Amino acid sequence: MDRIYLDHNATTPVRPEVRDRMLPFLGELFGNPSSAHSFGQEVKVQFEEARQRIADQLGASPAQIVFTSGGTESDNYAIKGTAFAAGKGHIITAMVEHPAVLQTVSWLAKKGFDASYVQVDSSGVVDPDEVKKALRPDTILVSIMHMNNEVGTIQPVEEIAAITKEAGVYFHTDAVQSFGKLPTKVDDLGVDLLSMAAHKIYGPKGVGALYIRKGTRIDPLIIGGAQEKRRRSGTENVAGIVAFGEAIVQAEAEREQLYSRLTGLRETLVKGLTERIPEVIINGDPSKTFPSTVSASVSHVEGESLLLSLDMEGIAVSTGSACSSGSLEPSHVLVSMGIETVLAQGTLRFSMGRGTTKAQIDHLLEVFPPIVERLRRMSPLSASKAC
Amino acid sequence: MDRIYLDHNATTPVRPEVRDRMLPFLGELFGNPSSAHSFGQEVKVQFEEARQRIADQLGASPAQIVFTSGGTESDNYAIKGTAFAAGKGHIITAMVEHPAVLQTVSWLAKKGFDASYVQVDSSGVVDPDEVKKALRPDTILVSIMHMNNEVGTIQPVEEIAAITKEAGVYFHTDAVQSFGKLPTKVDDLGVDLLSMAAHKIYGPKGVGALYIRKGTRIDPLIIGGAQEKRRRSGTENVAGIVAFGEAIVQAEAEREQLYSRLTGLRETLVKGLTERIPEVIINGDPSKTFPSTVSASVSHVEGESLLLSLDMEGIAVSTGSACSSGSLEPSHVLVSMGIETVLAQGTLRFSMGRGTTKAQIDHLLEVFPPIVERLRRMSPLSASKAC
Amino acid sequence: MSMYSEKVMDHFKNPRNVGEIEDADGVGEVGNASCGDIMKIYLKVKDDVIEDVKFQTFGCGSAIATSSMVTEMVMGKTLEEAEAVTNKAVAEALDGLPPTKMHCSNLAADALHDAIKNYREKHNK
Amino acid sequence: MSMYSEKVMDHFKNPRNVGEIEDADGVGEVGNASCGDIMKIYLKVKDDVIEDVKFQTFGCGSAIATSSMVTEMVMGKTLEEAEAVTNKAVAEALDGLPPTKMHCSNLAADALHDAIKNYREKHNK
Ligand SMILES: Cc1ncc(COP(=O)(O)O)c(C=O)c1O
Ligand SMILES: Cc1ncc(COP(=O)(O)O)c(C=O)c1O
């Protein structure tokens, strides 16, 4: 069997149609879109078409889309940009956010801003009332993600938006995991700022965008030659941006069909795991979780050793924490959901995508139980038990 | 004749060998280099090889190279990063810098930092003594570019470094235009921070790097998942980074040969322009200017109308200001060199590269004089004269 | 492929009514070199009708095109009709201008109005 | 392609001396679950020589590999020789570990030393 990729929340392969759209821009369409001559202008046209496509997906105007180098930059731009424009103030976020949000907020906290972190319930969902309670007169921004990357939890963004709107506070959502997978019309969601990335939806790495509602007071993060209407300077990653435009159109076209296919695959996976492996816990509430992601905590064994063992069988998954730090701390997301430390350490994330098949899941379900058994036999935690 | 591209300082075509190196990363090598499984690790190896190549070019260790989304981000990171790590203080830069430096410094000035701008002489060169005079006890950073993008002037970076070193002040140089064109060994230059971009040396747009000398106190600009040893978070633009590594090796291999070829082409171009067009001024001192760039001020006519007229003949050049703002202000670089406003408005930048041939320059020299004549005949400024 | 419409490029390539009128009845001028555009309009007027109009322009593509367009729009028109021509109308006649050029290089109607004013002052009308 | 050396992967795939010694002369343990690694080492000692050694480990790839490696390194050695084995020596014997793993998951020698200490305490040596 070919290698099996079950780490689509980390990144996805570039779709062949998307790649084909990029190639001319690595060839003769090499002009700088800021250039007034024809080499520049012929590029600019296609480049602006990509902006229109992103805007359409959001139900926004192209003038409200700023291209960036990815999801992390978009998050940094949204949060630091509104913070620096305000000068000082209080920011509300949640413990389940991606480090791109959490670490940015904690950097700002070191620079004189204030931060509050709302808790989540055991399925990882933010309670809008908690956001309301955390509001202060000097609150400038609420940042709550749309879809969580580790567990797949979908947050009640619309309800939170109603609260921020009433309070007159900006609302940013990190939609890096949801853009192209769930509807993300900005007026339905009610958000002022929304982060996106191409590489989660079969586009290239190193390109993303930030939606900025008209009138939002925001400082630029990357300053210079005044590209993107002064909001994001630097020669644009034209090939990447055009590819992003293509990726979203393709993703939207198959979105609903993929959703139902993933729902079926999730059922097979969850059923197989719980039936075949003793003491495995599936994290999150499936009714509030996007079906591509299954987070499973396996008692008595550690996640990386599970990951490596699966990798030896040609199956790619991720541990609970998507973080590259090599830190051995258990996932902040799982811990904030109240999962025991040692279980959090033994968590794997299976994230499926458009290339995932039933045969792949079946194969995983063959291979995985003996791996767990072998590692449990090695573990001092399970030694006393007959597992 | 094919279209002629004389705007290499704005951007360059991707070299075919570089493009070929990228393609696998838009195909099956799609893993996230932070992933522990084989999809990630197979990518990481090649990705780190690119870092080694950039480091070799600088005579630095790979641990001192941080990949970014381009020259502008590198400049922002270097300047804001050292400023925020210091918390407060004074920054010295020059009026001839790229907007990525100038606008970043002026943003910091609005946020409570201090800034001084050193003047340049009529050929655009910074006097190191002026830097010395501008130093204050609270100076935290000096940022002076290596090679200017509008005129091609090479700054006395080594001499300035001697001054900053004695004063114990960090020294950043924007080497976006010089990296791969001039020697840039960081220990020879004596700099603490050095900005680079791939797309100026036949690599893709949207990727760059910052050299950070070991021990430099610098805050990250883009914060999150702890990639690049926590110095620059966000999923890496792997294809772009690998391409950057290839681009620098290729650029270095032909660097000296290209330099002498460009020197010959410049001679032809300058001689042709001054002989065939009355009242044209070549800006900068050729002995202190990199030979790819010729900045020519044409009296009584405006730059954009020259640019458009050349574009109609299939020749791509740029006006004095490389800025995309559409601002009608004359180039800050030319003005700071003491060039009259109206002449600055009538300035074209011809920037040559590896694809430039003698035949192209000869063709330009045929086409350009009648264009100037036609526009001068239309101009109210030259109406009184018989030009 | 250009940042300008085809009409702008047409007027840029083949500007109408370029030049000076030696014995003009009215001369108008707007802009200055530091802002990048200088436009000069010359008028020949008879019985309140513009019999001839010419322009000279130092400026970018849109400055030249708007100058050319405005002369075409008012040739043979009465002064009153000419006074009703706005910068916006000139831009529209050219199928629009890029946003960054709308405010800066779109001054041809102003130059025209300045020339009419100059004519009226000289001739007490 | 792996983040680990071939030797680490070999010990991870085929760990030597896994398990428990029921009547161990010394038992050592380091780590705790919240830091991600727990290692337990069991010793059988005769005449100051390690006759048998086994391990149990909860932890990542390098934790399992270092545990396995340390048992191999000290099997049949005197206690004194075993005490001279450092975490660094274990990592070197595995052709190195990734930087992020050097400090966190490289504790097998500590677990061994803890087991020897336990043996000495129990047997007054
Ligand atoms: C001197 C200089 N610095 C910085 C930059 C900005 O680089 P980039 O466009 O890759 O962000 C450029 C080019 O645009 C440049 O010429
Ligand atoms: C929810 C979420 N936010 C932000 C990011 C960061 O995006 P990028 O890696 O493109 O910078 C990711 C993915 O890594 C993510 O899953």
pLDDT tens for each residue of D16-26: 999 999 999 99
Considering the domain boundaries, does residue A387 fall inside one?
Answer: no
The helix (H) or strand (E) run that includes residue B43 is helix B38-58
A61 to chain C, any CB pair closer than 8 A? The answer is no
Q: Which of B223, B250, B277 is the last residue of a domain?
A: B250
* Residues in A touching B73 (Cβ below 8 Å): 69, 222, 234
D33 closest CB neighbour out of A303, A305, A341:
A341
pLDDT tens by residue, A204-242? 999 999 999 999 999 999 999 889 999 999 999 999 999
| Ligand 2 contact, A145 CB (< 6 A) | yes
Q: Specify whether A65 is located in the same domain as A200.
A: yes
Helix B71-86 and helix B99-110, axial crossing angle in degrees, nearest 10: 30
Distances (CA, A) of C30 to A4, C123, D19: 69, 21, 92
The enclosing domain of B50 has a CATH number of: 3.40.640.10
Amino acid at D118: N
Residue A55 confidence (pLDDT) above 80? yes
| Ligand 2 contact, B235 CB (< 6 A) | yes
The catalytic site residues of B sit at 323
Q: Which of B250, B282, B304 is the last residue of a domain?
A: B250
What is the value of ipTM here, to two decimals? Answer: 0.94
Minimum Cα–Cα distance from C99: chain A residue = A229
Distances (CA, A) of A208 to A73, B327, C86, C99: 8, 27, 42, 25
Q: Which of A250, A273, A293 is the last residue of a domain?
A: A250
The DSSP output letter for C97 is: -
Are chains D and A in contact at 3+ CB pairs closer than 8 Å? Answer: yes
Q: Can you tell me whether residue C99 is helix, strand or coil? A: helix
User: For residue A328, what pLDDT is reported?
Assistant: 61
Q: To the nearest whole angstrom, how far is the Cα of A237 from the nearest Cα of chain C?
A: 20
The parent domain of residue A91 ranges over 16-250
Minimum Cα–Cα distance from D64: chain A residue = A305
Pairwise CA distance, residues B1 & B206, whole Å:
31
Q: How far is Cα of residue B65 from the mean position of the Cα atoms in its chain? A: 18
Residue A277 confidence (pLDDT) above 80? yes
Residue B117 confidence (pLDDT) above 50? yes
| Ligand 1 contact, A263 CB (< 6 A) | no
User: Looking at the 3D structure of chain A, how many domains does it have?
Assistant: 2
The helix (H) or strand (E) run that includes residue A293 is strand A293-298
Q: Specify whether A159 is located in the same domain as A198.
A: yes
Q: Is D104 an active-site residue?
A: yes
Q: Which residues contact D62 (CB under 8 A, 6 or more apart)?
A: D4, D8, D97, D98, D101, D105, D106
**B67 alpha carbon to ligand 1 midpoint, in Å?**
15
CB contact under 8 A, A72 and B222: yes
Smallest Cα–Cα separation from B375: which of B299, B318, B269, B280?
B299
Q: Can you tell me whether residue A296 is helix, strand or coil? A: strand
**B10 alpha carbon to ligand 1 midpoint, in Å?**
8
Considering the domain boundaries, does residue B386 fall inside one?
Answer: no
Which burial class, exposed, middle or buried, applies to A247 when counting CB atoms under 10 A from its CB (0-12, 13-18, 19+)?
Answer: buried
CB contact under 8 A, D36 and A302: yes
**A325 alpha carbon to ligand 2 midpoint, in Å?**
14
Amino acid at A228: E
Q: Specify whether A245 is located in the same domain as A321.
A: no
Locate the DSSP E strands across chain C.
Answer: 26-32, 37-46, 49-58
CB contact under 8 A, B380 and C98: no
Q: Specify whether A234 is located in the same domain as A266.
A: no
Considering the domain boundaries, does residue A283 fall inside one?
Answer: yes
Q: What is the count of residue pairs from A and B with beta carbons less than 8 Å apart?
A: 265
Candidates A6, A14, A26, partner chain B, best to mutate (most B CBs within 10 A)? A26
Which residue, judged by its Cα, is nearest atom 16 of ligand 1?
B149
Minimum Cα–Cα distance from C19: chain B residue = B378
Minimum Cα–Cα distance from D65: chain A residue = A305
Residue C119 confidence (pLDDT) above 70? yes
pLDDT tens by residue, D57-103? 999 999 999 999 999 999 999 999 999 999 999 999 999 998 888 77
Are chains D and C in contact at 3+ CB pairs closer than 8 Å? Answer: no
The enclosing domain of A359 has a CATH number of: 3.90.1150.10
pLDDT tens by residue, D3-19? 899 999 999 999 999 99
Residue B347 confidence (pLDDT) above 50? yes
Q: Residues 342-371, chain B: which have Cβ within 8 Å of C?
A: 342, 345
Amino acid at D31: G
Tokens of C27: 């001369």
The DSSP output letter for A153 is: B
* pLDDT grade for B387, boundaries at 50, 70 and 90: very low
Q: Specify whether B199 is located in the same domain as B159.
A: yes
Instruction: Check if the beta carbon of residue B174 is closer than 8 Å to that of residue B76.
Output: no
Q: Percent of chain C beyond pLDDT 70? A: 95
Residue C58 confidence (pLDDT) above 70? yes
* Residues in B touching A29 (Cβ below 8 Å): none
* pLDDT grade for A323, boundaries at 50, 70 and 90: very low
Ligand 2 atom closest to the CA of A197, numbered from 1: 10
* Residues in A touching B35 (Cβ below 8 Å): 7, 10-11, 316, 318
Considering the domain boundaries, does residue B387 fall inside one?
Answer: no
Q: Specify whether B295 is located in the same domain as B224.
A: no
Smallest Cα–Cα separation from D63: which of D27, D25, D89, D31?
D31
Give the torsion through C-alpha atoms of A377, A379, A384, A387, to 10 deg. -40
Give the ligand whose atoms come closest to the C-alpha of residue A148: 2
Instruction: Check if the beta carbon of residue B129 is closer than 8 Å to that of residue B104.
Output: no
| Ligand 2 contact, A197 CB (< 6 A) | yes
Q: Specify whether A246 is located in the same domain as A376.
A: no
Are chains A and B in contact at 3+ CB pairs closer than 8 Å? Answer: yes
Distances (CA, A) of A48 to A66, A207, B226, C23, C116: 11, 15, 32, 49, 42
Instruction: Check if the beta carbon of residue B234 is closer than 8 Å to that of residue B221.
Output: no
Pairwise CA distance, residues B41 & B35, whole Å:
7
Q: Specify whether B188 is located in the same domain as B106.
A: yes
Tokens of A47: 């480049």
CB contact under 8 A, B305 and C38: no
pLDDT tens by residue, A357-375? 999 999 999 999 999 999 9
Q: Specify whether B55 is located in the same domain as B143.
A: yes
Strand partners, D40: D29, D56
Q: To the nearest whole angstrom, how far is the Cα of A137 from the nearest Cα of chain C?
A: 39
Spot the catalytic one: C35, C88, C92, C123: C35
Q: Specify whether B304 is located in the same domain as B159.
A: no
Q: Specify whether A56 is located in the same domain as A124.
A: yes
Minimum Cα–Cα distance from C62: chain B residue = B305
Residue A196 confidence (pLDDT) above 90? yes
The DSSP output letter for B206 is: S
3-state secondary structure B119-183: CECCCCCECHHHHHHHCCCCEEEEECCCECCCCCEECCHHHHHHHHHHHCCEEEEECCCCECCEC
Output the pTM of the full model: 0.95
CB contact under 8 A, B103 and A72: no
Q: Which residues contact D61 (CB under 8 A, 6 or more apart)?
A: A304, A305, A308, D4, D8, D9, D12
Residue B265 confidence (pLDDT) above 70? yes
CA angle at C109 for the pair C105 and C111, rounded to the nearest 5°: 85
Lowest mean pLDDT: which of A326-340, B245-259, B290-304?
A326-340
* Residues in A touching D4 (Cβ below 8 Å): 308
Residue showing tokens 């396996």: A298
Question: Which chains contact B through at least 3 pairs of Cβ atoms less than 8 Å apart?
Answer: A, C, D
Pairwise CA distance, residues A258 & A245, whole Å:
19
Considering the domain boundaries, does residue B362 fall inside one?
Answer: yes
Q: Specify whether A310 is located in the same domain as A220.
A: no
**B145 alpha carbon to ligand 1 midpoint, in Å?**
11
Smallest Cα–Cα separation from B244: which of B44, B55, B33, B26?
B55
* pLDDT grade for B320, boundaries at 50, 70 and 90: low
pLDDT tens by residue, A165-194? 999 999 999 999 999 999 999 999 999 999
Q: Is the pLDDT higher at B351 or at D107? A: B351
* Residues in A touching B101 (Cβ below 8 Å): 224
